[in-house]
């Protein structure tokens, strides 16, 4: 949503990071919601009372420099999606599965997202938009078996610019990715991962 991000009333990009800002994630969520048939005024009202405060953060670019470079970013203070986390398998990046359930959300429906790292900042907004939101970290690649099993009312593929050097696939095998990651872990790491899974 380049035009919407460019014209946003607050900065939609981060200075020392490759991801959109938290506010940029809100802009992207509203654009997505509208594309999925939700009225713009309802989307705007949903996030109208959000509060932000400036916080100094080192981003994924800033931490590659010595000394580290930081910048002030607006952080959302009035809402945190973690209160609605129903399940998180705890894997880092590819293969992660995270589900939020919020019965009071605007739309009573399940939204399945095959996404990448930029989707996590959207969860503060998506978890208020859909009563169930499932995020699977695949960088936009779609596993049709997962779609068939969940049968979501909404299906979204999200990726970051660095992954578009090749097109996402529609025959992704999520269990193989997860099993591959687990096979690279020690028994202790696997036990710790399962202990933290909820």
Q: What is the DSSP string of the chain?
A: -HHHHHT-SS--B-SSSSSBPHHHHHHHHHHHHHHTT--HHHHHHHTTT--EEEEEEE-TTGGGSSS--EEEEEEE-S--GGGGEEEE----STT-EEEEE-TTSSEEEEEEEEE-THHHHHHHHHHHHEEEEEEEESTT---HHHHHHH--SEEEE---GGGTTSPPPS---HHHHHHHHHHTS-HHHHHHHHHH--
**CB neighbour list of residue 161: distance below 8 Å, 6 or more residues apart:** 18
Among residues 128, 160, 159, the alpha carbon closest in space to that of 29 is found at: 128
Say if residues 157 and 125 touch (Cβ distance below 8 Å): no
Taking residues 68-76, report their average pLDDT.
Answer: 95
Tell me what pLDDT residue 197 has.
62
Residue with tokens 């490759």: 18
Burial 35-64 (b: 16+ CB within 10 A, else e): ebebeeeebeebbeebebeeeebbbebbee
Task: Judge whether residue 54 has pLDDT over 60.
Answer: yes
pLDDT band at 16 (very low <50, low <70, confident <90, very high): very high
Copy the structure tokens of residue 81.
């999606």
For the chain, the average pLDDT equals 94
pTM of the entire structure?
0.91
**Number of Cβ atoms within 10 Å of the Cβ of 118:** 17
pLDDT band at 191 (very low <50, low <70, confident <90, very high): confident
**CB neighbour list of residue 12: distance below 8 Å, 6 or more residues apart:** 5, 6, 20, 21, 23, 24, 27
Task: Judge whether residue 175 has pLDDT over 80.
Answer: yes
Task: Judge whether residue 126 has pLDDT over 90.
Answer: yes
Gap between the Cα atoms of 183 and 124, Å rounded: 32
Tell me what pLDDT residue 118 has.
92
Gap between the Cα atoms of 24 and 121, Å rounded: 9
- Of 5-9, 146-150, 159-163, 188-192, least confident by mean pLDDT is 159-163
């Amino acid at each position: 949503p380049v035009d919407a991000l460019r014209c946003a009333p607050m900065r939609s990009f981060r200075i020392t990071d490759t991801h959109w800002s938290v506010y940029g994630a809100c802009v992207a969520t509203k654009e997505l919601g509208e594309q999925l048939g939700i009225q713009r005024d309802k989307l705007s009202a949903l996030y109208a009372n959000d509060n932000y405060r400036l916080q100094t953060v080192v981003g994924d670019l800033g931490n590659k420099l010595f000394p580290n470079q930081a910048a002030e970013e607006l952080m959302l203070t009035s809402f945190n999606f973690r209160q609605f986390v129903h399940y998180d398998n705890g894997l880092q990046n590819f293969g992660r599965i995270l589900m939020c359930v919020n019965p009071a959300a605007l739309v009573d429906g399940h939204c399945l997202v095959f996404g990448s790292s930029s989707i996590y900042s959207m969860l503060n907004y998506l978890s208020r938009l859909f009563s169930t939101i499932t995020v699977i970290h695949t960088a936009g690649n779609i596993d049709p078996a997962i779609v068939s099993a969940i049968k979501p009312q909404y299906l979204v593929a999200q990726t970051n610019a660095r992954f578009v050097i090749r097109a996402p696939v529609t025959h992704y095998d999520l269990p193989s990715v997860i099993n591959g990651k687990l096979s690279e872990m020690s028994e202790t790491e696997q036990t710790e991962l399962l202990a933290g899974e909820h």
